[in-house]
Structure 1
């Protein structure tokens, strides 16, 4: 059986379809799940800057729900955030709803960090909250100290320049100009010295060569000196090991024996008898030699067989 609609009925049916579509679309844009089952959870933040209603809620990077609404609580000065999460996800009671930066423009989202536990949070319970500093906040936290240091540095520089201007009176500026002129003359003299050194390069090279030869000769002399010092060391070592005290004692005893008039050597040295006897013997020998020369036949007989 064919159903026929008149013009008014067709317009009414079309209006109903349009209204239903608008309702579904608007609720979808608001983050409401018309056809699925969801659980309501709450969390509290001190600040919700960048977080919007209908914002996404993630678990391990997967979207599991949306932010339904954000309410300001005047008594605690905090924000109560209502979240709708798919009912098929079980959330332990020690899990944390973390507010974090989801893009470079400062947009915020919520991710639920699932914790280990057996007790599952019930619907319309409150999750623990945490705010993760965003990239912009981190950059600002690092730049602000640098800004303060730069401001302090600029202030110190301004103070320094003021003090320098106060110190540099006309007389001081004149002295400073003279000092700069003297420094310029000194640099010019250094330049002239280096130029002279360049011109006298061959003489300097010859001098360096002579010094090198001298150092070589000194090295050879040092080797000879080392040998001499080695010999002296051997002599000193020999003297250390020698019985010098015994030798000195023997010499001392010999001198005492010589100086003793009662000893044999002392009698020979101290008395005149030996000297007189030797003198007489020498004279007798001299007389005998003279007699032999004068009358050799008397003392030398030659027999011819």
Structure 2
């Protein structure tokens, strides 16, 4: 122990502190130095701002980190991303790595696992990568359409300002206000009608309906067959009387159809009228009255 001097102790403490510092920095980056892991490469045309120590997800679960980003100078336009993944993660053949642009500007890597239980990528293999701009790409695609719509929007706003500046708009609004007030009055009157007059009318209609029921029941009790038989008998009698009146073999028929009787009655009436006139003109010729009596002439 006498060989462990103060300087040695300081050196050992410095080494230990340096190891702790390195471990702490890697731990903060998400790198677990003493945890076993496997590494793969993902090939992209553009990493779109992906940084080292970025988390890697599979089905929404963090399964690793980005260890390094290497630009392929021999094949420009290709970027290799070294990914450290958990050793328990099995990457089937046909899987791919996807870079998703987040809304706040960050980039996240997702491992899209394929359904291939037979084949898998080995440690150090290269996985194909794709770039998905997500919502930002959709917004970028909409920008040309929005740009084309801006002149139309400007024209619409101009027309709207012209319409709103028209002096007839306040008058129209005033008319609408009056119409609304009239509708409110009509609604109140309708409410009054519904609460007072309609029940009375309904009651009267119910009474009329009851009367119709009574009349209907009375009509059901009528013997229509006997009634029609009586009507037929009456019509038959009327027909018989009419035939007799038109026939000359009876007194009434002769009275109605014999012209001689009509002429005789006219002649008798004329003689009676002539006799009455003569009686009025010469009453002494037909009436003789004397107190002492008189010889006949």
Normalising by structure 2, we get a TM-score of: 0.48
